[in-house]
Structure 1
């Protein structure tokens, strides 16, 4: 009986040893693999996964909206072909059809800007002349141009005969020089040019960035 128990114990021990040896190589290989992975140099090239790949976005240009067929300012009339809305303040107002082409439109816009600037200059110069003309004339010891009621010479107030002809010649010469310079600027084919852009901005009011412009 003792011999039989010894045989059974020996068989169990051998079985346990066999099973242990069976698992020994795989664990050793796993340990070696782990050590090898720890010793991998950082310079070893690695394959990036799909998550790490850079995403390239392409901007698709959006087509501008179609131009309206009717005028915005006068909805019962067709929109003039030359008024495309590209200029500031363009609402399709040309009931008499003066602007037959883009060149005509630019010429009319040039004239519009010039008259607007002259009107603003006159609106500021008229009251200033009536306020300061007599004081300036007294300081320079010359006869004032305003009348006894400090009214500026004009067709309405009279007194244009007091103005020297040299003044009118100087005004006409200066206006002609500015107009000639503006014509030359408009013929330079500068893509940044727009009607009235003479490059005169001593106080830096005109914005530098595209959005501000």
Structure 2
């Protein structure tokens, strides 16, 4: 079984568990078990943050401020990884057709691999793109830092919810936070697997796991024809 196929199957199972009702046997089992820890759980890893399984074998979270900073960083990376886990295969599917439509050279190479550091194809990306995203990321980071200083917000809380999906009740908020951190952690593993699989096999993720993208590939082919 290819690495990305295994990651996708794990993602499906974990996502189902993450959204299981609180009173379900699966949820009760997850709440009752704890991971290994090199620290006294009562001191810092007290379960105040969703997804806290008491797992800190290297002892990074030595204080509440340190734990807050690490959770803040974890959520940022988790959100980026969730976007990347979707954007990576979508780019491999759509980039050649979009480039052809605009009479440009595709950034996805002949093996179907998206540009990355390890395969040495990032030079295909227009520098203007990098400048635009550095500026956008700097603005988002500045806004996030100002939000933390002024509102004493929870890690990852930027006050951004244009669709009003965030629950108003405490139990619903806790559940949403737990679902986000679980799926984010899995996405960080998945996107790392994407990078290394393409580097090792020199074969695109979409091509390697075409069964998961067959409908999308068919739709694109019909649209192109």
TM band (smaller chain): 0.5 to 0.7
Name the residue aligned to 2:147: 185
Once residues 169 and 39 of structure 2 are traced to their aligned partners in structure 1, the CA distance between those partners, rounded to angstroms, is 37
Once residues 149 and 75 of structure 1 are traced to their aligned partners in structure 2, the CA distance between those partners, rounded to angstroms, is 43
**2:162 corresponds to 1:202:** yes
**1:146–1:80 CA distance, 2 compared to 1 (3 A):** same
| Contact 1:110 1:195 survives alignment (8 Å) | yes
Q: What residue ranges of structure 2 are gaps of 5+ in the alignment?
A: 1-32, 174-225
Name the residue aligned to 2:204: none
TM-score (structure 1 length as normaliser)? 0.59
User: Larger relative CO (CA 8 A, sep 6+): 1 or 2?
Assistant: 2
Taking the TM superposition and a 5 Å limit, the aligned residue runs for 1:43-192 are 72-74=34-36, 78-79=40-41, 81-190=43-152
TM-score (structure 2 length as normaliser)? 0.56
Once the two structures are TM-superposed, the CA of residue 127 in structure 1 deviates from its matched residue by 0.6
| Contact 1:80 1:97 survives alignment (8 Å) | no
SS, match of residue 187 in structure 1:
helix
Query: Is the helix fraction higher in 1 or 2?
Result: 2
Cα-Cα RMSD: 2.3
Once residues 90 and 43 of structure 2 are traced to their aligned partners in structure 1, the CA distance between those partners, rounded to angstroms, is 43
